[in-house]
Amino acid sequence: MSAQLFVVATPIGHLDDITYRAIEVLKSVSIIAAEDTRTSAQLLKHFNINTPLTACHEHNESNKIDLLIQRLVNGENMALISDAGTPLISDPGFKLVRAAQENGIRVIPVPGACAAIAALSAVGLPSDRFSFEGFLPSKQSQRLLHLNRLKDETQTLIIYEAPHRILDCVQDMADVFGADRPVGFAREITKTFETIKKMTLGALVEFIKNDHHQQKGEIVLVIGGATVEKDLEQEKLDQLLTRLLQDLSVKAASQLAADLTGIKKKVAYQRALELTDKA
């Protein structure tokens, strides 16, 4: 009988954020595959969990998979954890989960903390639609290319960034997205020096420059989406869509508005939906 693979979220700072179910699962499985066994040993010790750990990280995941899958196939229940938060979210685990599925093993999520979602829930920017971008490229030239591709995205963007790159990264965002774009800065979530702020990208550059403490710890950036296409004023687009929506479906009205004005169909469609909701 194949066993089960539990994908278990662990705290991102405050240890009380572990769930009852996570502790139960971690106690009950035969083995825990962890990103860093030394980091996870401390967590297990804190909760009196004596389950053996085995390393499964970025560098050995491919080689380790066969061994781990074999143990699952032999009937040993297994948990997968990362150093903090939800495995697979900018953390290893995807290859193991995919291999488990391919081998007919049931994969069971045990949800909990995730820095991206915690940040989004508290910074006060639109949360109905968002795009999780993970870490941006560390090289500036590639980061700028990436940011330029994201410039017209209307959804809220969520980005993880390392503290030593935060100032350069926010400066590049201000240059590409504009200094007036709103941003949420969520640092050290659930920890002693938790800092949650919302301001403009221009103001955030100054805030980080003037306080070196803000260049330490773990950071999530939540960036407000682009508002409208620059070449067409919102009011004119609204007028056109409102008229078209009197006779046409959202899809047809946004297609026609996009054809007539040259704005992206996606942008027209999103605005048409918003106008329909308001009506």
Residues paired with 185 in a beta bridge: 197, 221
Residues paired with 60 in a beta bridge: none
**Chain centre distance of CA 3:** 29
Comparison of 109 and 178: residue with beta carbon closer to ligand SAM: 109
Taking the complex as a whole, the smallest distance from the CB of residue 135 to ligand SAM amounts, in Å, to 7
Supply 138's token pair.
């560390």
Is the CB of residue 267 less than 8 Å from the CB of residue 240? no
**β-sheet with 31-34: strand ranges across:** 53-55, 31-34, 78-81, 4-8, 106-110
Residues paired with 130 in a beta bridge: 156
Taking the complex as a whole, the smallest distance from the CB of residue 73 to ligand SAM amounts, in Å, to 27
In the complex, which residues of this chain contact ligand SAM (CB under 6 A)? 12-13, 82, 84-86, 89-91, 114-116, 160-162, 186-191, 218-220
Chain position carrying tokens 């989406």: 225
Taking the complex as a whole, the smallest distance from the CB of residue 182 to ligand SAM amounts, in Å, to 19
Supply 151's token pair.
């410039």
Chain position carrying tokens 């009380």: 16
Taking the complex as a whole, the smallest distance from the CB of residue 251 to ligand SAM amounts, in Å, to 36
* Gap between the Cα atoms of 16 and 84, Å rounded: 13
Comparison of 199 and 228: residue with beta carbon closer to ligand SAM: 199
Comparison of 133 and 161: residue with beta carbon closer to ligand SAM: 161
Using only C-alpha atoms, the chain has a radius of gyration, in whole angstroms, of 23
Comparison of 133 and 218: residue with beta carbon closer to ligand SAM: 218
Taking the complex as a whole, the smallest distance from the CB of residue 72 to ligand SAM amounts, in Å, to 22
Comparison of 30 and 132: residue with beta carbon closer to ligand SAM: 132
- Tell me which residue of 211, 128, 140 sits closest to 199, measured CA to CA: 211
Q: Tell me, what DSSP letter sits at residue 190?
A: T
Comparison of 37 and 190: residue with beta carbon closer to ligand SAM: 190
Taking the complex as a whole, the smallest distance from the CB of residue 184 to ligand SAM amounts, in Å, to 11
